[in-house]
Structure 1
Amino acid sequence: MSPSRNPRRLSVVAATAVLITLAPIGVAAAQAQVTRIRQGSSTDVSRTAWSGPAYTMNGSGGIVTATMTQAVNAIRGGTGSIDVVVLAGSGTTTPECDVITGLAGVNSCTTLTLTAARDGDNAQVNTDIRNAEFVYFAGGDQCRYVAWKGTALEASVESVVAKGGGVGGGSAGHHVNSDIVYDACAASTTSAIALDDPYDRSLTFTTGMFRWPNYANTINDSHFVTRDRMGRTMAFVARAIKDGRTSGGKAWGVGVEEGASLYIDRNGLATLSGPSAYVVLGDHQPEIAVAGQPLTYSNFKIWKLTSGQTYHFANRPTCGYYLRSVNAGVPSSSLYSGTPVTDCSTTPPPSGGSSFAEVEPNDSRSAANDVSGNTYPLTVTGDMKSSTDRDYFALTLNSQQTLSVSCAVPTAYDADIYLLDSAGSTVTRSVNDGAGADESASLTRSASGAATYYLDVEAYSGSGTADYTCTVTKS
């Protein structure tokens, strides 16, 4: 938990700023929990298409104008303007919107302060979010933010990304935007505590809240170098792998320093603005990660980024890292710098493929995640949030082209796959019985011209946040 919203008198930047206190649904105004302050235009932008998604991942709570400007321009495609919503769990000031409203291409910025979990179901809150094109999670306490999991707010934020908008956050808001969230709901941990016992009560996690395209299997951390958090991120990564919270037995920690920001474009390419950021990969089981004992984990792969450098989350690199280990709770020296491995000859980089993590809601053909613009082979990841969950992915197939799908299903549930034509009719399917039973299917388009097809992954029984992984090829 890293407080970053400094209490001060309300600063009103735009003449049209409006302060409204909103009552939760079914609660009298005297008991209101939500504060709404809108700056800029009082009318939302109306437009049928946007050019994102785009993301900003900030190491501290404040807006970094360089990456925020990149996100605004990417979403609006260089023309028009967007509406922004800032979500906060506490405070009475508007430091984020004070900066955002001064940027070119911004129509309005609304600060929503939610002080109770049930505020995630507030009607006005969700209307504001769905009408926005960018949602920024402020600093503060990420435990307040994960309490919104399962409320209408979760789906509303996901709808912004699905329509081509974007999300971001700083400090606690950075944490909540990763696939696995260190929620700090019991206590805030340090590197020393986490390495001494990776199952200490202060290490608690929330999964299954947000999963952004190309950003699967990540755990964010903030204030990274200033507060010496490399050690605890190592423990987060080891826990994620040991507890089976990731797909493929790998986890990536993403630590961003104070004042720094990663801008991630729609293709998964991250570019750093500011001092430094680190990507920490664990790609094997920890040697020792048990309650009450110090962590032992060999050869974390660490990429250090400085301003202007990039990391591709869609095609994650296989060299350019340096190695560091933890032995009986004691980490290697010089955790924040090292000589990178530059020879990729023994581990060739991906051969043009890409990855895509599902974005809810995608429970119907009309709401399908469009993966037609990705490169193939394509790795699709997602999960069955409920025993009735259905995940749809749309792609294009040319005449005489063969589509093949092979899905690895976790043991938490039984899932089936269907390949559908453009009208929604089942062309072929794979319905192997049993939790953890893998599925595969293929079809060939014999008609002339190109057409849309759908991969439909359906829960047959069971549910959970463990990822399925589908490899999709076209030949």
Structure 2
Amino acid sequence: MRSLPALFLFVMSLCVSASAQSAKQYQFFVVGDPTNVTRPQPAQPSLVLMGGGTDVDDAFRWMIQKAGGGNFVVIRATGTDAYNPYIYAFGNGVTSVETLIIPNRAAANDPFVLERVRNAEALWIAGGDQADYWEDWKGTPLQAAIQGLANKNIPIGGTSAGLAVLSQYVFNALNGSITSPQALSNPYDKSVSLGRDFLALPGMGNMISDMHLDSRDRMGRLVTFMARIVNDGWTPMTHGIGIDVETALLVENGNATRVGNGSAYFLNTVGIPEVCKPKTPLTYRNVGVQRLSGGGSFSLTNWASYGSSTVNYNISAINGVLSSTQQGGSVY
């Protein structure tokens, strides 16, 4: 039988151990040397907007070049450190790649997490579920730290769910995902859950973004999101960006170029929806689309392409069904 002092010390050691485990809410993984380095502040803001699926190598090379190397930080709510060796292999002055898994608000308030994010030369928001980012990061010091990087022109990028939270308006998926037919048939379905102002990034104001556009046929729900934003009085007109899988936009000082295998779609509304109400199919006519599939660039500031680099057409939702002015009627 244990003596009382020995038992007391044993129980106390368990309490201390449990306390230490509960105090550390995040996970941290690193390759390279995590010693903080200082690089000159970039002169221009830069963003990488990636549509999900297989990552686009050229986008990371560009992002590292804009950062000037240094400490490249990846944040996510779930997942693994798989980005660490992938990004570190590009070299070009990267001294470390660090992944922080930040699964709750306690982790988003942790001093170590905040220190690593604030000192990043580049920040990547991984895919996952944007509802986690919305519920666990919004309104925390982590959100403020990300915004602080943007204010210093530190390159920021995101893919899939990470892309979703980069625009002013956000499909935050608080009630799960939704398909295009579901959204078009009822724009006020509980799963059409929208929020705003997670971040304020250059060129991303008055805009909503969506990902996996081609592979998951999401044009219809993007149009529905835009209809809701206008119909609910958030703004008299809005823009949307939809990006295919294996595709990224490289945005510097408001000008976007495309890399990867797919297309990017730049949408703009014209007026308010004809019919946008609960349990009623959406009717919203003549939403403008500019599709960027090859070279050239697109100005997010002027919402126009340079060098006739886009294919331009209109799409309409009529009684919940999409149509297009393109020959053949494709909305993509």
Q: Which TM-score tier does this pair reach, normalised by the shorter chain?
A: 0.7 to 0.9
Runs of at least 5 residues in structure 1 that lack an aligned partner in the other structure: 1-26, 338-475
Runs of at least 5 residues in structure 2 that lack an aligned partner in the other structure: 1-17
Identify the residue that residue 331 of structure 2 maps to in structure 1: 336
Scaled by the length of structure 2, what TM-score is found? 0.87
| 1:37 matched to 2:32 | no
Distance 1:97 1:154 in 2: 22
| 1:281 matched to 2:281 | no
| Equivalent pairs, count | 303
Identify the residue that residue 69 of structure 1 maps to in structure 2: 61
Cα shift readout 1:305-353 (whole Å, capped 9, x = no counterpart)? 113232110121289620110111011153434xxxxxxxxxxxxxxxx
User: 1:240 Cα shift?
Assistant: 0.9
| 1:125 matched to 2:113 | yes
Distance 1:156 1:208 in 2: 15
Cα shift readout 1:392-428 (whole Å, capped 9, x = no counterpart)? xxxxxxxxxxxxxxxxxxxxxxxxxxxxxxxxxxxxx
Distance 1:327 1:135 in 2: 41
Higher relative contact order (CA 8 A, sep 6+): 2
Q: Is the 8 A contact 1:250 1:281 kept in 2?
A: yes
User: 1:62 Cα shift?
Assistant: 4.9
Identify the residue that residue 313 of structure 2 maps to in structure 1: 322
Gap change, CA 1:335 and 1:96, over 3 Å in 2: farther
Identify the residue that residue 299 of structure 1 maps to in structure 2: 286
Provide the secondary structure at the position in 2 that maps to 1:117: coil
Distance 1:283 1:323 in 2: 10
User: 1:245 Cα shift?
Assistant: 2.4
Q: Is the 8 A contact 1:187 1:201 kept in 2?
A: no
User: 1:150 Cα shift?
Assistant: 0.6
Distance 2:34 2:249 in 1: 30
Could you tell me which amino acid in structure 1 is paired with residue 313 of structure 2?
A: Y
Distance 1:118 1:196 in 2: 39
Identify the residue that residue 197 of structure 2 maps to in structure 1: 208
Cα shift readout 1:250-305 (whole Å, capped 9, x = no counterpart)? 1111111110001101x200001121111111131111111111100010100111
Gap change, CA 1:45 and 1:63, over 3 Å in 2: farther
Gap change, CA 1:132 and 1:36, over 3 Å in 2: same
Distance 2:94 2:286 in 1: 45
Q: Is the 8 A contact 1:194 1:235 kept in 2?
A: yes
Could you tell me which amino acid in structure 2 is paired with residue 297 of structure 1?
A: Y
Provide the secondary structure at the position in 2 that maps to 1:174: helix
User: 1:164 Cα shift?
Assistant: 2.1
Provide the secondary structure at the position in 2 that maps to 1:158: helix
Provide the secondary structure at the position in 2 that maps to 1:254: strand
Distance 2:53 2:21 in 1: 30
Identify the residue that residue 228 of structure 2 maps to in structure 1: 239
Q: Is the 8 A contact 1:134 1:165 kept in 2?
A: yes
Q: Which of the residues 153, 166, 175 maps onto 1:164?
A: 153
Could you tell me which amino acid in structure 1 is paired with residue 160 of structure 2?
A: S
Scaled by the length of structure 1, what TM-score is found? 0.61
Provide the secondary structure at the position in 1 that maps to 2:83: helix
Q: Is the 8 A contact 1:61 1:139 kept in 2?
A: no
| 1:88 matched to 2:82 | no
Higher helix share: 2
Higher strand share: 1
Distance 1:236 1:323 in 2: 17
Q: Is the 8 A contact 1:197 1:293 kept in 2?
A: yes
Cα shift readout 1:159-203 (whole Å, capped 9, x = no counterpart)? 112122111111111101111110111121000000000110000
User: 1:75 Cα shift?
Assistant: 3.1
Matches within 5 A, 1:421-460: none
Q: Is the 8 A contact 1:136 1:167 kept in 2?
A: yes
